[in-house]
Structure 1
C-alpha cells in the first residue's frame, strides 16, 4: 500500500498507509469516541471542514449502506483510523468504506497510532493538520498559512426551500447543516416539515404560517452565522422554538449570551447529560467544538436546563417567558443512544399547549 503521512501544526508526524481518494488535504483535526456509526459521522454536515480521528481501533467493519447517510456525500475532509476493514460483512452493505471514500473523493490514512494521536489532541487541543504523501518544508509552511473557512454554514445549508408535507403539526426548520435523522425523527411523528435556508428572513418563515420553529445543527463557529440572529429574535417572540447543536448556540447568541471554542470539543455517542428539571441522566450523541459560556447567561433570561456531567458544559437552555428552548446534543440519535428522543415530543407538546392557550385567549 502507498505511504501517507499526517502532519500536525505542532510538528508531529504520523506515518500510515493511504486509502480512499489520492489527494492531499488540510483541515482541523478532531477526534470522535464513538464505537460505531462512522457512516453517519462522516456524512454529518457538522463535520464540514474537519478531519476525523476515530478512536475506536477498527473502522469500516460493516461497510457502507443505503440507509445511514446524514447527507449525500462526505462532510468530513478526511478520516484517520488505526485499522481500516477491507472485508466488511453486513447484510445491508453496498460497498466497503475505502471503496466509497475513493468514489466520493475523501482521502484517509490507516495504520496510525490513534491512541497516541488522541492523547496529543487532548493535551494540546484540536489543531490544523495536513494529509500528504511526502513530508517537506513546504507542507509545514502551508499548514502555518492555512486559514480555516468561515463560510461553513453557507456551504452546508440548502439553497432552496423544500417541504415534507403531512396533515400534522407544521414546523419551519431553518437549515444550518441539517442531519437527515432530524427529518426522520419529525417524519416519524407525522410532522409537516418546511425546510428553509440559513439566510431566510423571519418574514418569509412567518408567511408560511408554521406552528413552530426548529433551528438545526451545523458546522463551525456560531458567530460566523450571526446573520441568523435577527431572524431568531423575531421568531421566538411569535412561535414556539427549539434549537439543536449549532441552533442551540445561535439561540444563546440571539438572547445576549456568548459562546467559546472548546479545547477539543465533544464528538461521540457516550456523553452523559444531566436533565436538571427532570433529575434524570441521558447518554447522548454530540458533535460540537463550540459551547455556550455559562457566565454570560446572567441577565439574559436564559436558564440552564441540561449540563454535561464531566465538564459541566451548558447542554440545554430555556428562555424565561417564552416557549423557546435548545439542546446542545443530538436528540435524533444517529448514531447514538436514544435516551434523549423525548426532546422532540417535548417540543411538539409545547406547540400543542401554546395553540390551546392562544385559542383560549382568542
Structure 2
C-alpha cells in the first residue's frame, strides 16, 4: 500500500480578486484587521480603519493594481501558482503542494482541506518570506494553524476532531541555496537587459521600528541577507546599500526609506541604479508598481535619467530558486518520507 502524500503549503499573504475598489476593500479589511499587522487596540483602530481608511484607500489601491494587472489575473496569484506548479514537479508524487493565502483565496482552509482529502495527515508549511517577521511569517503560521485545527481564531469553535501534524519551516535568510539563487537570478537579469548598474539598492518591506524594538528579528535578518548577497556578487563597499519601503501610518518605521534614498541617488553621483527586493520572492504590487514605476519616478525627481533606472523582478519560479525550495522541503520532511 502506497504512502499518502506529504502535504506542502506554499504560504503567502494574499491579493485582491480584481483591480476594483469593491474587490480591494474586503482584502484590505481582513489584512489590516490582523493584529499581527496592526497591533493597535481594536477599540481605537477599527473605527479609524472602517471610518476613514476603507473609504479612501481601496480606490487608490485599485488604480495602482489596474496598472500592473495581468491578463491571467493578479500578478502575485499568477506567479504563486507558477511557483506551486514548479515545486510540485520538483518534489514529485511523494508530496502534494498547495498554495495557501492568509487573507484571500485560495485560503489556508482550502489548502488544508485539499490535502486532507488526498489523505495527507502530515503537512509542511513553507512561508514565502525568507526573513522572519511577526507581520508575515507569524501571520501565515496563525492562518495555517487555525485552518488545520478547524478554527478561525484561537478562541473559535472546534469543527474537526483529527488534526494533521504540522511542521513550520523557519526563516532561511542566510541559507547558501537562497543566496546562490539570488546571485544567479541577478546575473541572468542583468545579462538579459544588458544593464550595467553603478549602484545596487536592496530594499525590503518595512515594519514599524517599535516592532523591532520589542523583539522582531526582521531588520537584522534583512541586513544579513543583503551582506551575504553583496559578498556573493563581489560588490565593492560603497556600491550598494539597504533600505525599507512601504511605510504606512504616522509612527516611525525602519529606515532609511527607499523613496528618500532613490531621490538622493543622482545627487550622490549615481547614474545607473538597480533596485531589487530580496525579501519579496513573488512579484506583486510592491515590486511592479511601488519599486519599478514609482521608484523610477522618484529617481527622476531627484535629477536622475529614468531610462538608466533598472528594476529587477523577483525570483518568482526561477529554476534555481525552486530547486532550493524543494531541497528545503525534503530536509524538513525527514522521518516522514522513506
Same fold (TM over 0.5): no
Q: TM-score if structure 2 supplies the norm length?
A: 0.30
> In proportion to residue count, which structure has more helix?
2
TM-score (norm 1): 0.28
